[in-house]
Amino acid sequence: VIGAPPPSRLLLGSGPSPVGESVLSALAQPTIGHLDPAFIEIMERTCELLRTVFVTGNRATLPLSATGSGGMDAMVANLVSPGDRVVCGVNGLFGERMFDALSRAGADVVAVRAEWGRAIDPAELIRVADQGLRSMVVVHGETSTGVCQPLDGLAEACHERDALLLVDCVTSLSGQPLGIDSEGIDAAFSGSQKCLNCPPGLAPLTVGERALDRLRERPTPVRSWYFDLNLLLAYWSGAASAVAEAGAVAVRAAPRAYHHTAPINLVYALREALELVVAEGLEDRWERHRRAHEALRGALELFGLRRLAPAGESLAPLLAVRVPEAVDEAGVRSALLHRHGIEISGGLGPLAGRIWRVGVMGLGAEPGPQRRLVQALGAELGADPTDALGALEQGWGQ
């Protein structure tokens, strides 16, 4: 490699998260063609693993060639039409962005807001869902605040009204209990670089039958060519669905339509990252994230850093803590990066300068990296880390 290498960092911010050796090795495997039968097998395995991780039987499940934000644009472009009445939960930056994307798509959007740092009462979302509702959209894991949105009753309320329930699960996927089918979610998207520990650049997307019907019934074509699911599915799962329907091996050879050149090596990396998630077991992984979050919360409290989200509303993969007035928020964060090689994130919008956001994502949700963070934070805050380290160990022991 001729260019200078990037510095070594422990990524404990809001994303990207740490990428493990085997995923990096997968990324460095030789590039092959995007229509090569060997690549198509890798695609099929990747989609199958994604179904396991989303806990869904949805045939339309694939990694979009885009970051998480592209997943949002794709979901909106395909499933929302101009004039649609849409209810959107907004309690942080990603809800604000969703509201913006829906408005740009020409939807008649009603925002149901909660303070940044609090969940939205599902009853509030249901209260404004009238008979003409077409979709309800919520952010399951609000990464700007570390809040997990309860989904109780939302699917029932939507389906009674013939509306779709659409969910951003970029940060929650594989780090917080979530089942697409059991929650009745009609479409959801994620990102490769949060709890999946893959480099950024792919957006897992899953779309159920009800949403596919909506797509077929669109009064106007999908405005985005790149994100048109009709075209994408012909490449990603055209043959896969043909196999399922016909049950014949011969159909496997059905030609896949060239749509765009998939980022081959990123797909290798995602496949490897998903193999690791599935090998660990989804339930065990959710439990590890919960434990890691609680252990770190207990440790940071001893430095006077209290969690922003109340108990019962917190998001395991992201711990947001209030920074006391006397602490130089940006200064300490910068010292962590430059002196200790550890990245954590600051606050956004109304919380800028007031919170730190610590990622508890996949490889970051382990005692080793958390110990390093607690030690470095102690040094930068001028606090003895012994008690905090003890609390961390105790948290992991529970």
Ligand X SMILES: *Cc1c(COP(=O)(O)O)cnc(C)c1O
* Selection from 191, 88, 83 nearest residue 138 by Cα: 88
Q: How far is residue 178's CA from residue 144's CA, in Å, rounded to a whole number?
A: 19
In the complex, residue closest to ligand X by CB = 68
Strand partners, 11: 343
User: Considering only 137-145, 226-234, 260-268, 365-373, which stretch makes contact with ligand X by CB under 6 A?
Assistant: 137-145
Q: How far is CA 201 from CA 98, 110, 149, in A?
A: 19, 31, 25
For ligand X, the binding residue among 129, 137, 170, 180 (CB under 6 A) is: 170
Choose which of 73, 96, 168, 343 interacts with ligand X (CB under 6 A).
168
Q: Is 183 in the site for ligand X (CB under 6 A)?
A: no
Beta carbon nearer to ligand X, 67 or 135: 67
Closest Cα to residue 135, out of 206, 97, 201, 84? 84
Integer angstrom CA distances of residue 359 from 11, 335, 366: 8, 18, 11
Residues 353-392 as x/- pattern, contact with ligand X by CB under 6 A: ----------------------------------------
Residue nearer to ligand X on the CB measure, 317 or 395: 317
For residue 90, the one-letter residue type is V
Adjacent-strand bridge partners of 90: 113
Number of residues counted as binding ligand X (CB under 6 A): 13
Between 81 and 143, CB nearer to ligand X: 143
Does residue number 139 form part of the binding site for ligand X (CB under 6 A)?
yes
Does residue 208 belong to the site contacting ligand X (CB under 6 A)?
A: no
Positions of E strands within the chain: 10-11, 60-64, 85-90, 108-113, 135-139, 141-142, 147-148, 164-168, 187-189, 203-207, 318-322, 342-343, 345-346, 355-359
Residue among 170 and 267 whose Cβ is closer to ligand X: 170
Binds ligand X by CB under 6 A, chosen from 15, 263, 362, 385: 15
Q: Please pick, from the candidates 46, 56, 58, 67, the single residue that binds ligand X as defined by CB under 6 A.
A: 67
The neighbour count for residue 121, using CB atoms within 10 Å, is 14
Report the SS3 class of residue 204: strand
Q: Are 102 and 76 in contact (CB under 8 A)?
A: yes
Residue with smaller CB distance to ligand X, 196 or 212? 196
Stretch that binds ligand X, among 56-64, 121-129, 136-144, 379-387 (CB under 6 A): 136-144
199 binds ligand X (CB under 6 A): no
Closest CA to 310 of 132, 151, 116, 38: 116
CA angle 72, 347, 63 (to 5 degrees): 25
Task: Work out which of 48, 69, 113, 301 binds ligand X, going by CB under 6 A.
Answer: 69
Q: How far is the CB of 73 from ligand X (least distance, A)?
A: 9
Binding status of residue 171 toward ligand X by CB under 6 A? yes
| One-letter identity of residue 221 | P
For ligand X, the closer CB: 72 or 239: 72
Q: For ligand X, which stretch binds (CB under 6 A), given 66-74, 241-249, 280-288, 326-334?
A: 66-74
Q: Which residues contact 100 (CB under 8 A, 6 or more apart)?
A: none
Tell me the torsion sign for CA atoms 273, 271, 206, 348: positive
Interstrand relation of 85-90 and 108-113 (parallel, antiparallel or unpaired): parallel
| H/E element, 12 | none
- Minimum Å gap between C-beta 66 and ligand X is 8
Q: Is residue 94 a contact point for ligand X (CB under 6 A)?
A: yes
Q: C-beta of 258: minimal distance to ligand X in Å?
A: 25
Binding piece for ligand X, criterion CB under 6 A, among 26-34, 37-45, 163-171, 359-367 = 163-171
**DSSP 8-state symbol, 17:** P
Site for ligand X in 276-335 (CB under 6 A): none
CB of 97 to ligand X, least distance (A): 7
Instruction: By CB under 6 A, tell whether 200 contacts ligand X.
Output: yes
Q: Which residues contact ligand X by CB under 6 A?
A: 15, 67-69, 94, 139, 141, 143, 168, 170-171, 191, 200
